[in-house]
A = this chain, B = another copy of it.
Amino acid sequence: MKKGKVSNAVIRRLPRYYRTLDTLYREGTVRISSSALGESMGVTASQIRQDLSCFGEFGQQGYGYNVADLRQALSDILGMNAGYTSVLVGAGNLGRALMRNFHFNKNGFSLSAAFDVDPKIVGTVLNGYPIYSMDSLDDYLAEHKPSIGVLTVPKYAAQSVAERLIAGGVRGIWNFTNIELDVSDSNVVVESVHFADSLLTLSYLISE
């Protein structure tokens, strides 16, 4: 599997390819043509072929793609089988929503613990996940070396907690704080979920 210079636009489409293939797989679909796959994703068949060509040879002329194989290849490309681990920092409403409803495991990440400052919830367990005190975060990071930190703290705490995560050796931060984190002087990758961008897109689309 080669990974050269893959554009951001291609990277952003990979999860959607995986999601579409995963749905097809669960529905029992064995194979699909690139045009049918494109149609279900709103992209052209040639776009799909071009995107996938960044990672190797997939599919066969006249046959299309084997759904199980392509799903598996995409999950490998996305790093879903790398055994990544995560901790969540900030067990407020949003943090708890993720702990309760988001399937970390289905997306290749095990979540091992959450951290919060609220003494009322520190020491409790939510949906199987222990909630520890923020005071123990640095020791926990040093001991368990999680791959990423899920950042669901209030805005004012975002940058300082991010710096603790970076000092603790995480490779990525999944950022829900709506703050542009400053992670220069590190190799840490930040992926932000921008609720506002999504709502403004909807706003544009209903204005058309």
A residues at B contact (CB < 8 Å): 3, 8-9, 11-12, 14-16, 18-19, 23, 42, 77-80, 82, 84, 92-94, 96-98, 100-104, 106-109, 147-148, 154, 171-172, 174, 180, 189, 191-208
Within 8 Å CB of A19, what residues of B? 194, 196-197
Question: Are B15 and A197 in contact, CB atoms less than 8 angstroms apart?
Answer: yes
Within 8 Å CB of A191, what residues of B? 198-199, 201-202, 205
A148 to B174, CA, bound (A): 28
Question: Are A80 and B203 in contact, CB atoms less than 8 angstroms apart?
Answer: yes
Contact of A94 with B101 at beta-carbon distance under 8 Å, contacts A77-B204, A201-B12 already known: yes
- Determine the main DSSP class of A at the interface with B: helix
Q: What are 19 A-B pairs with beta-carbon distances under 8 A?
A: A3-B208, A11-B205, A12-B201, A15-B204, A78-B200, A78-B207, A80-B203, A93-B100, A94-B97, A101-B154, A104-B199, A107-B196, A147-B206, A148-B202, A174-B199, A189-B202, A189-B205, A191-B202, A193-B195
